Amino acid sequence: MIKKIKNKKAISPMIGYILLISIVVVLSLIVYTWLKTYVPQDSLECPDSTSMFIRSYEYAPNNQLNITIKNNGNFNIGGYFIRAATQSPDQGLAATDLSAGLVDSFGGTNLRGGLVIFELQEGGNTNSFSPNQEVTHVFDISGIDAIFFIELTPIRYQEHESIKRTVTCGSAKIKEEIN
Amino acid sequence: MKKRGRKKGISPVIATTLLIAIVVIIALILFLWFRNILGDYGEKFGKNVELVCEDVVLGASCSGNWIYISNDGNVPVFKVNLKLEEQGKYSLVELNDVLVSENAWPETGLTQGQVYSGQLDLSGYNNPEITVIPILMGVSSEGGKKSYPCEERHGYTIY
């Protein structure tokens, strides 16, 4: 005769449930953390109607180039990258950085990385160049033999995930031929 | 018939614990295997590098044997590959391998707003179509820095 089975207690159903749920939660967290990196997030972009253009330019004495810029968009702008094509009119992209030659006594500030901003402010720079505003910046171009065209790429300061970031407005890049 | 006394199995608690442990280990093995199948694309800015490649905005042009590359977006480009294509010939090279000038690609990469210009040695090619394909620096799943070439569709073709 088979011996009577005694004391064959399983774990309590409550502990079983708790264990199952904890395992499911832990595994879900692992999978979520991994899959999260595959989910597209908002990328850093300037608003669509951010725009500025070179209203006029003028060669001035002492190897200076005066450039008047106007904000013809709907949003404030913080600054711009400025480059000149100095090798050939066919080079397609301007590669010579002009920001180092900015004569800041006439306005503007040259920041590192080839960036010219409209107004340097303590406690963080802002987008100080408002729509319809005009400004003339002066650049020292001594050492440059010829300029075929100039390219300006505006930038804006924008909050992204609670951090103020410099955002390049690549779609608002402008090109102006210089004679 | 022989008496079946003292034939005790393992305790139910141990059995349950063992079962759960085995399930967890198998789940982890499957997870790691599946992740390897998808490939280690690493992360940049908390996003999968493959997604960050979508945000790269490059401009490029050629004049003679000079190449000009601008970073018009907000993602730093660590390096670039060039796909050189002409009739009956195709190759993928890193930019630094076909440069003749001392204008080496910046060590820190091409940050936002920067423009690079350099002279190419394309001997052996007859006016090839050039596609500039970005390489990004990301953080690998092991935690170290690693460069990740973007796919060709994220490149900029110079016609």
Mean pLDDT value of segment A5-33: 78
A81 pLDDT higher than 50? yes
Q: Is A18 on the interface with B (CB under 8 A)?
A: no
* Closest residue to B63, CB basis, from A10, A83, A88: A88
Distances (CA, A) of B130 to A15, B48, B99, B155: 64, 27, 14, 10
Contact between A38 and B31 using a beta-carbon 8 Å cutoff = no
B80 pLDDT higher than 90? yes
Write out the residues of chain B at the interface with chain A, using a CB-CB cutoff of 8 A. 3-5, 12-13, 16, 20, 23-24, 27, 31, 35, 43, 46-48, 51, 54-55, 57, 59-64, 66, 68-74, 111-117
Confidence at B40, pLDDT banded by 50, 70, 90 = low
A4 pLDDT higher than 80? no
Q: What's the pLDDT at A5? A: 53
Q: Is A113 on the interface with B (CB under 8 A)?
A: yes
Contact between A3 and B68 using a beta-carbon 8 Å cutoff = no
B125 pLDDT higher than 70? yes
Q: What's the pLDDT at B34? A: 76
B62 pLDDT higher than 60? yes
Q: What's the pLDDT at B5? A: 56
Q: What's the pLDDT at A10? A: 65
A107 pLDDT higher than 70? yes
Complex prediction ipTM: 0.74
Percent of chain B with pLDDT over 90: 21
What residues of B are in contact with residue A115 (Cβ under 8 Å)? Answer: 113
Which has the higher per-residue pLDDT, A51 or A163?
A51
Closest residue in A to B6 (Cα) is: A3
Q: Is A158 on the interface with B (CB under 8 A)?
A: no
Mean of per-residue pLDDT scores for chain B: 84
Contact between B5 and A95 using a beta-carbon 8 Å cutoff = no
Mean of per-residue pLDDT scores for chain A: 85
State the residue for tokens 């399983």: A10
B145 pLDDT higher than 50? yes
Helix/strand/coil (H, E, C) string of B85-122? EECCEEEEEEHHHHECCCCCCCCCCECCCCEEEEEECC
Mean pLDDT value of segment A106-114: 79
C-alpha angle A113-A118-A124 in degrees, rounded to nearest 5:
75
To the question of pTM greater than 0.90 for the whole model, the response is: no
Contact between B54 and A43 using a beta-carbon 8 Å cutoff = yes
H-type alpha helices, chain B = 12-38, 49-54
Q: For A33-72, how does the pLDDT look when each residue is reduced to its tens digit (9 = 90+)?
A: 878 777 777 778 899 899 999 999 998 888 899 999 999 9
Contact between B68 and A170 using a beta-carbon 8 Å cutoff = no
Q: What's the pLDDT at B28? A: 84
Which has the higher per-residue pLDDT, B45 or A53?
A53
Instruction: Assess contact for B60 and B158: CB atoms under 8 A.
Output: yes
Tell me how far apart the alpha carbons of residues A157 and A111 are, in angstroms, rounded to a whole number. 14
Which has the higher per-residue pLDDT, B144 or A5?
B144
Mean pLDDT value of segment A72-90: 91
DSSP letter string over A97-113?
E-GGGB-GGGS-EEETT
Rounded to the nearest angstrom, the minimum Cα separation between B153 and chain A is 17
Confidence at A19, pLDDT banded by 50, 70, 90 = confident
* Closest residue to B31, CB basis, from A30, A45, A170: A30
Distances (CA, A) of B89 to B84, B97, B98: 8, 18, 16
Confidence at B4, pLDDT banded by 50, 70, 90 = low
List CB contacts of B102: < 8 A, sequence separation 6 or more: none
Which DSSP state fits B77? B
Q: What's the pLDDT at A1? A: 45
Rounded to the nearest angstrom, the minimum Cα separation between B92 and chain A is 23
Contact between B59 and A93 using a beta-carbon 8 Å cutoff = yes
Closest residue in A to B59 (Cα) is: A93
Q: Is A23 on the interface with B (CB under 8 A)?
A: yes
Cβ neighbours, 10 Å, residue A142: 8
What residues of B are in contact with residue A44 (Cβ under 8 Å)? Answer: 55, 74
